[in-house]
Amino acid sequence: MNIGSLYKVKKYFWLLFPTKDTTTAAAACADINAAVTFTESAAAYADYWSKHSNCEVTYFSPDSIVVFLEEKGKYKKVLTSEGRIGWTWFTENLNYCFEEISNE
């Protein structure tokens, strides 16, 4: 991932937490595979984590455009094309889910 570059989301939906701390707590409780293959809607999964974390958790979906603003290991600070800023997590083996958009 290149910080500051635009990426198109190719696969899965991704939870977006308001702080790195809430993201870290959720990551400790959840398996990333459960997040990306959740059988309910993305909104239902975000609602579950909102209640569990006592904060507003949103998400971004395939075909969204995002910018990674900061990276701390598997935790990434994201700006979405809808203007949302928050934190998500994934390891490098899931980088294929994102395609860098060329400036050319």
Per-residue pLDDT, 48: 83
Round to whole Å and give the CA distance between 8 and 27: 23
The mean per-residue pLDDT over the stretch 33-57 comes to 75
Predicted TM-score (pTM) of this structure: 0.81
Q: Are 104 and 89 in contact (CB under 8 A)?
A: no
Round to whole Å and give the CA distance between 68 and 77: 6
User: Would the pLDDT of 102 be above 90?
Assistant: no
